[in-house]
């Protein structure tokens, strides 16, 4: 399981460079032909990890219902993110992974509601499966973010 956390931390380090390397306007810009922006992708990976790992385990999430509603699957940016929201996401980017590792080490993930991902061929049966899929999912969104930045 340590490998999953190492991969997640590496991914989050890469994502954090977008937060520190782009202005608020750039983070909120939706390039022509795209349906979202850099900040939406960042919020989405944080919220998705929490839903997949915590909610499906029956545990409280570390993100607010407001963030879930704004960044869950099927949403798109409706309003520009504020600087305070960017700061919140910056904190959550790492705190959620650090706490997940602590909770995993404390063996809190005892139950899991089996979930078939939207790709249709991934059935998540436990928190370990959820973390592995979350890492895959983050990689997809990191790729999208890399493309978006070329249009800013």
Kindly report whether the global pTM for this prediction surpasses the value 0.75. yes
Interhelix angle 127-149/38-49, rounded to 10 degrees, is: 180
The residue extents of the domains of the chain are 2-149
- Of residues 40, 32, 24, the one with CA closest to residue 145: 40
- Assign domain 2-149 one CATH number from 3.40.50.10710, 3.40.190.10, 3.40.50.12780, 1.20.120.450: 1.20.120.450
Span 22-61, pLDDT tens digits: 999 999 999 999 999 999 999 999 999 999 999 999 999 9
Distance CA 15, CA 145 (A): 9
Distance, CA of 22 to chain centre: 18
Distance CA 48, CA 10 (A): 17
DSSP 113: -
């Amino acid at each position: 399981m340590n490998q999953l956390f190492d991969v997640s931390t590496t991914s989050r380090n890469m994502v954090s460079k977008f937060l520190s390397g782009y202005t608020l306007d750039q983070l909120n810009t939706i390039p022509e032909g795209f349906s979202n922006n850099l900040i939406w992708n960042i919020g989405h990976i944080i919220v998705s990890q929490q839903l997949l790992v915590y909610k499906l385990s029956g545990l409280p999430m570390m993100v607010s219902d407001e963030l879930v509603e704004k960044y869950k699957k099927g949403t798109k940016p409706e309003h520009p993110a504020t600087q305070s929201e960017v700061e919140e996401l910056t904190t959550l980017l790492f705190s959620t992974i650090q706490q997940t590792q602590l909770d995993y080490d404390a063996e809190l993930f005892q139950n899991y509601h089996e979930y078939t991902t939207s790709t249709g061929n991934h059935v998540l049966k436990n928190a370990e499966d959820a973390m592995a899929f979350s890492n895959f999912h983050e990689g997809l969104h990191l790729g999208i973010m890399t493309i978006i930045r070329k249009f800013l």
